Structure 1
Amino acid sequence: MQKLREIGVEPASRHGQNFLIDMNLVRMIISSADLGPQDVVLEIGTGTGSLTTLMAPEAGRVVTVEIDGHLYELASEQLLRFGNVTQLRCDALKNKNRFAPEVMDAVGDALADLPDSRLKLVANLPYNVATPILSNLLLCEHTPHTMVATIQKELADRLVAKPWSKDYGALSVWMQAQCTTEVVREMSPKVFWPMPKVTSAIVRIIVDPERRAAIPDLKFFHQWIKAIFLHRRKFLRANVVSALKQHATKEQVDVLLDEMEFAPDTRTEQLDIPTLLRFTEKVRALAPDWGL
């Protein structure tokens, strides 16, 4: 922390910057990712390069992205000696729903350079982009094998939440429908500089190809789940009628709910993932152009 101050590094709150200063936890992140020479690592938030310099000797390729010009230059001094590291100075996201094309292009090039390679996201994610990074990477042309990241504990709780719990929502369903999700370690604010006002956590998310293959239209599923969980405490019928208002009548919705054997007082928050997957396919058959 003192060293960072001495070299003039000041965290930018607009970028959600909190530097992880406990090196034991930095090493825990790397060990949780189980890196090897066949792995292409995507890191969002290079920071000072402390995580990057430890990953580079373990991984086949590392693509690391930093939006802050000062930090980009600082990390460059540490990373020049690694021939397998590609540094990008840009926003990792084009918008809240898409990665920046230059990021995906760099990842694609790195994967093409390594035969039989696999993509892993490993990062101390800036808090303000953690949700779109984790969520959107599952819709990209390069499917990750594993995602290991530090995020707010509140977000980690949502990733692993079960039906009827206060944290269960669209993100819980989206991630768990395709992946195994776990909280590796909770982290005190004291291990960051500056100290955030919230507790953080290291999460490990491993993509399950069979689960993904069981979802016929990932984009449709993603949009539909977000739509019906917009007001998750409301009765399911009200959410479905609202979401399908230009694509189905109330009578058609009632037939659909009857086919699923949903009770009139069913709420979105109580539905488990297998049920939601079946329900989504019935909706897609009724309104295939919904969400286009």
Structure 2
Amino acid sequence: MKRFREMGIQPATRHGQNFLIDLNLQHMIVDSADLDERDVVLEVGTGTGALTELMAQQAASVVTVEIDGHLFELANELLFKYDNVVMLKQDALKNKNTFAPEVLAHIGKQLEVAPERRLKLVANLPYNIATPIISNLLACEFVPHSMSVTIQKELGDRIIAEPWSKDYSALSVWIQSQADAQIVRIMPPSVFWPPPKVQSAIVKIAVDPEKRASVPDLKYFHQFTKALFIHRRKFLRANVVAAMKKHLSKVEVDAILTEMNFAEDCRTEQIDVATLLKLTELVRAQAPDWTL
């Protein structure tokens, strides 16, 4: 905080900046990522560079992205001595559904250095972009080996939520269909500056290649489950009919739901990941060109 005051830097609300000031927790984030010489780390939100420096000492390469020009300069003073750190001053996202091409290009360049290299997301994520960063990385051309991130606890609860719970959502399904997720540590507001109004959590998401391979069309599955969860407490039939209204008749929808043995009063929030995947494939077989 003293360094921030010396440089006249104030956290920017528009960028969701809350800086982790507990050094033990910084080490815990890095330890949860289990880094070694094979790893190319993507960090979104360089901040002061403290977390970046810890990772640079363990990983093959760190591609770190910071949108704030003042913070970029501050971090550069600490990180310039590391030749395995690539610093990017820009937004990590092109839009809410897509990573910036420049970020992906630098990741690809680092991964190409050796065949055994693998991508890991390790970051104290800005709260306002945490969901699209995590979600989009699972859909991009470079599949992450794992993600170890600091996010709002509320988001962490959604990621690990089970059917019937209030937090179960399309995001829960999207992540759990491809990975195993756990909350590593819950953190109070006091470990951040400025302290947020909510609790935070370190979450570890480990991608499971077998799970991911079991989803025949990831994009279709992602879009279809998002459509179903727009009104997750409504009856499943109403959600499927609404999503497929230009592609499947009510009779065709009813036939699919009957084949799946769904009760008439079944709701989207009740259905587990494996069952949603089966439903998606029956729908996709009849409406392969559907998009949200």
Normalised TM-score (structure 1): 0.99
3-state DSSP of counterpart to 1:144: coil
3-state DSSP of counterpart to 2:73: helix
> Does residue 54 of structure 1 match 2:63?
no
> Does residue 175 of structure 1 match 2:175?
yes
- CA drift of 1:2 comes to 2.7
Distance 2:183 2:94 in 1: 28
Corresponding residue for residue 237 of structure 1: 237
Corresponding residue for residue 146 of structure 2: 146
Q: How much is the aligned-residue C-alpha RMSD, in angstroms?
A: 0.7
Corresponding residue for residue 121 of structure 1: 121
Corresponding residue for residue 100 of structure 1: 100
Distance 1:197 1:6 in 2: 26
What per-residue deviation string (whole Å, max 9, x for no partner) do you get for residues 134-173 of structure 1? 0000011000001000000000000000000000010000
Corresponding residue for residue 134 of structure 1: 134
Report runs of 4+ in structure 1 exceeding 6 Å deviation. Answer: none
What per-residue deviation string (whole Å, max 9, x for no partner) do you get for residues 1-31 of structure 1? 2332222221000000000000000000000
Corresponding residue for residue 184 of structure 1: 184
3-state DSSP of counterpart to 1:113: coil
Distance 1:101 1:8 in 2: 32
What residue ranges of structure 1 are gaps of 5+ in the alignment? Answer: none
3-state DSSP of counterpart to 1:51: helix
Distance 2:116 2:271 in 1: 38
3-state DSSP of counterpart to 1:83: coil
Distance 2:114 2:49 in 1: 23
Aligned partner of 2:65: which letter?
Answer: V
Corresponding residue for residue 112 of structure 1: 112
3-state DSSP of counterpart to 2:129: helix
Distance 2:189 2:2 in 1: 17
1:32-111 equivalences in 2 (<5 Å): 32-111=32-111
Corresponding residue for residue 218 of structure 2: 218
Distance 1:3 1:94 in 2: 31
- CA drift of 1:115 comes to 3.1
Distance 1:272 1:32 in 2: 28
Distance 1:149 1:115 in 2: 25
Distance 1:131 1:223 in 2: 15
3-state DSSP of counterpart to 1:40: strand
Aligned partner of 2:258: which letter?
Answer: D
Corresponding residue for residue 262 of structure 2: 262
3-state DSSP of counterpart to 1:281: helix
Tell me whether 1-10 or 98-107 shows the greater mean CA deviation: 1-10
Tell me whether 155-164 or 105-114 shows the greater mean CA deviation: 105-114
- CA drift of 1:182 comes to 0.1
> Does residue 197 of structure 1 match 2:186?
no
Check conservation: 1:60, 1:114, Cα contact below 8 A. no
Corresponding residue for residue 4 of structure 1: 4
Distance 1:255 1:262 in 2: 11
Distance 2:20 2:243 in 1: 41
Aligned partner of 2:20: which letter?
Answer: L
1:155-170 equivalences in 2 (<5 Å): 155-170=155-170
Distance 1:255 1:178 in 2: 28
Distance 1:128 1:140 in 2: 20
Distance 2:52 2:9 in 1: 17
Check conservation: 1:181, 1:205, Cα contact below 8 A. yes
Aligned partner of 2:166: which letter?
Answer: K
3-state DSSP of counterpart to 2:36: coil
Check conservation: 1:160, 1:181, Cα contact below 8 A. yes
Corresponding residue for residue 206 of structure 1: 206
Aligned partner of 2:83: which letter?
Answer: G
Distance 2:207 2:8 in 1: 39
3-state DSSP of counterpart to 2:242: helix
Aligned partner of 1:75: which letter?
Answer: A
Distance 1:260 1:115 in 2: 43
Check conservation: 1:93, 1:100, Cα contact below 8 A. yes
